[in-house]
Structure 1
């Protein structure tokens, strides 16, 4: 198996480059994330973010809500793949990638020999984003993540993050690469948020039904071990049976059973 990174919509990458341009003033929380960085970091790779709601979630109900760009203090090296990647296969991701990230037949991929390097805001040149086949090269330099969400007019930069959750994401990507490197098949790495369970996971989306794997990120909810790679159906079943899910289901039932007061 290999890990295959999806190309994000061009508008999402532009939003991140605009936010990271030296002349752009970041919000205080985002500026704090970069307080130890000598220069503005560069996007290394992007992961589509999906959200799955409900006490008994099913992957088929996941909605693409945006993109998370991992940022590195060093530019991606020559090893960064310029192979075109298929757009995300869920909902708006496909439309966004098709509208903004696609190329005309015969067009060269950014970073390919003879192709122009992509430019950021104000004409700043930026090394090509890693797409196509993933390797763990460059993960040591990750210092922050940039969140891009879907807005009414297209992708919008939201904020920068860092800390234990980012570290867990990088660790999960290393796990996924070691698990899949050199074996047949292909997985697409995504990020999955399960708000009702206060859980997040690296989602390894397989080509065939039933192949999907989930790597719970730290901090993991009660009854789930962070970084234990599980079939998606097994982890979702555990969350459905978790004590927290039972409490929420009981609370919802109690609210539904409340008598309606009559006014008059």
Structure 2
């Protein structure tokens, strides 16, 4: 079944298209592949980007928040960069272009998700404390992309590079991966807490 990629908010897409049309924004980007492209580029596959703020070890709902939208920037049949937008008090704004391992890993995970045979809405879920990014496959393909938390039946696919001990590109149900992340985060949180 195809993934159900929802359209990004129109202002977010407009800011990316404006940045792509700006010679200054492109030339100042730390993306040699984007700077060297000859010919047209397009912004495709918009994915909402969420940050995981809290994992509750007791099985409570994890706390997430929408922080932006990511677009793959294509030249011909290949992605040469990605563009992130962010929500500001004035609305959606272009953040930056980038390239690197998450670009290829995202494309690989999306192809992998397409072959799973279930309808999903793709999102990205960042776990900053572990320097980890996952493709979040939300089971409700019609859900509002700007809201929600990982549900027990949702699937998370860690992108490469994944933290040590977590296999990249291995799909996990939320109920399987979040407890593992809780264990990984607990020692760091204990070290950060004040002495009793």
TM normalised by structure 1 equals: 0.64
Structure 2 counterpart SS, 1:25: helix
Shift of 1:56: 4.2
Asked if 1:207 corresponds to 2:167, the answer is: no
Over aligned residues, Cα RMSD in angstroms?
2.1
Could you list the structure 1 runs, at least 4 aligned residues long, displaced by more than 4 angstroms after superposition: 55-60
Give matches, 1:25-44, under 5 Å: 25-26=24-25, 28-30=28-30, 32-44=32-44
Structure 1 counterpart SS, 2:54: coil
Q: Which residue of 2 aligns with 1:69?
A: 71
Give matches, 1:131-170, under 5 Å: 140-170=77-107
Q: Deviations over 1:208-263 (max 9, x none)?
A: 95320000001111221000001012111111122xx243122123xx227xxxxx
Q: Which residue of 2 aligns with 1:196?
A: 129
Asked if 1:239 corresponds to 2:172, the answer is: no
In structure 2, C-alpha distance between the alignment counterparts of 1:55 and 1:69, rounded to whole Å = 27
Asked whether the 8 Å contact 1:33–1:160 carries over to 2, the reply is no
- Change over 3 Å in CA distance of 1:59–1:193 after alignment to 2: farther
How many pairs were matched up? 184
Structure (1/2) with the larger strand percentage: 2
| Gapped regions of structure 1 (runs ≥ 5) | 75-139, 259-264
In structure 2, C-alpha distance between the alignment counterparts of 1:198 and 1:28, rounded to whole Å = 25
Asked whether the 8 Å contact 1:53–1:196 carries over to 2, the reply is no
Q: Which residue of 2 aligns with 1:250?
A: 190
In structure 2, C-alpha distance between the alignment counterparts of 1:30 and 1:158, rounded to whole Å = 13
Please identify the structure whose Cα radius of gyration is greater.
Answer: 1
